[in-house]
Structure 1
Amino acid sequence: MTKDKSPMDQAIKETSIKNGKYLTFSLEQEEYGIGILKVKEIIGMMPITSVPRTPRFVKGVINLRGKVIPIVDLRAKFGMESIPYTERTCIIVVEIDSKDATVLIGIVVDAVSEVLNIHGDEIEDTPAFGTHLDTEYIMGMAKTEGGVKILLNIDRVLSIKEIQNIQGVM
């Protein structure tokens, strides 16, 4: 017979999941973070091959050492204004756990900032922005000396259906 976990046990588990190292990056004027264990590599911008009939936020694919990697522009995914790429623009290759498999996807960001060690007590839950706003892709808000960093649950930035659609064209 298994014992149900108490709210305190659940809170400790959630805090330990959030506790750790995060790669931080910028989009517009905001700072975001992704758990470092999800990051496989950071590469400079390279030619992206467009794939017809994909969503606007899917920029296409790249050939990374013989592997075809789909590329998602986070600015477009988050509904931000498109800007020209600069010398600081880069692709972060992340590992996403989807329903069926683990998938490598490149995300285009304005600039990579640093790796931060963020403790669970520095992370607050995502505030309630309203009943109709989907924020399940936000893991929490990290309070740092430089302000607030939005911590992303990269597995939820794209929906399962979006991941399947991207896999379908690869």
Structure 2
Amino acid sequence: MKLFLKYHIFNIVTVIAVTMFFSCDNRLKEVQQIGISDNEPIGVAENIILKHIDSGKVESILTSPKMIDYSNRDFAFNEFPDGMHLELFDSKNQKTTIRSDYAIIYDKTGLTDLQGNVVLSTETKDTLFAEQLFFDKIKQWVFTNKPVKFRTGTDLINGNGFDSDKEFSQAEVLEINGIITLNE
């Protein structure tokens, strides 16, 4: 009788243990998300300086008074509501500087959307003024389809749209509205 009772208790304990083992699954993501709304940022950083370095060479430096991190969303992004300053360095270590009042960087696409008083200036003093400009990190390309003013040499070119590589060797104002030659 004692053997029969021990056998049943052993079976019951085994069934409970196996049930508990298989009923638990990996819900670490769910636990990490407890208390975080899908619409709320996962973090906020102030007075940031981000440097992108590849093979020991600085490729870009981003500074901003505030960055809001939405990497907890399916389509992750970082928002810079107080603007940003971006320095891009080409293969000859020449610097292109971009400033804007507002920016969003989308992680999955590598696209940066710069908005409000966007000013892009190169080492050779070429300067682009726009209300919106996109920077494709993957293709190393800047572009917009909004109105622009582009100062190159003594010419100020007005147009609707702009395309260029980050080194400005292929800079092109689209739909040119006028060219003004400035006196130096």
TM-score above 0.5 = no
Structure with a larger share of its residues in strand:
2
Name the structure, 1 or 2, with higher relative contact order (CA <8 Å, separation 6+). Answer: 1
Q: TM-score, normalised by structure 1?
A: 0.26
Larger Rg, first or second structure (1 or 2): 2
TM-score (norm 2): 0.25
